Amino acid sequence: DANLLAPDRPTPEVIWSDPVGIGPITLPPIYAYPGRRALAELYVSDGSRVHALDANTGAVIWTHDFEAEIKGLAVNEDYVFIVGDIQMRMVGREQNDRRWQVAVTGGLVGGPLVTDRILLLVTQSGGVFLFNITDGGTLGTISIPSSPGVTNGAAVSGLRIFAASGNSVYAFQGNP
């Protein structure tokens, strides 16, 4: 039994099934089109590694060892962002080359959100962090009350960030 299957649409025919034994899959895979090294790519976490796959064939493009449990993944046009409990790393989609790594604290909630220049993280302890993807530097930090605990990731609309804690939703506006 494969852990990862690629069914065809609209029929239930399986195009490929986990050709290299990746698994178990620990986060929702991320589909990226267009790909950097294949027509379309699939980024999959199996705990402490990220695998870049050709989405059409299942062939492995590269594998990146994060060396810790992966809590979140995000992909933009050029990079893959890997977040764990104490660190975040940016690697190139094309060559799997580590660009930077920074410390993070507080336990990731939801997935990271990324644009072509900013990455946003929300933590269980109520931290909302904006990072510059060029170098991993912090652009801004916002705190929200964390009692009884932040349990959901953030939502973004234009220049507004929405984060929830308990029965309250907090809205922030600005341009870092």
pLDDT digits (tens, 9 = 90+) for 54-99: 999 999 999 999 999 999 999 999 999 999 989 999 999 999 999 9
- Measured CA to CA in angstroms, residue 121 lies from 2, 43, 113, 143, 152 at distances of 32, 19, 7, 12, 11
Does the structure show a pLDDT above 60 at 2? no
Does the structure show a pLDDT above 60 at 6? yes
Across the range 120-126, mean pLDDT stands at 86
pTM assigned to the model: 0.88
pLDDT digits (tens, 9 = 90+) for 24-61: 889 999 999 999 999 999 999 999 999 999 999 999 99
- Number of C-beta neighbours around residue 103 at 10 A: 8
How far out from the chain centre does Cα 73 lie?
Answer: 2
Q: What is the mean pLDDT of the chain?
A: 87
Q: What is the pLDDT of residue 164?
A: 80
Q: What is the pLDDT of residue 148?
A: 65
Confidence label for 1 from pLDDT (cuts 50, 70 and 90): very low
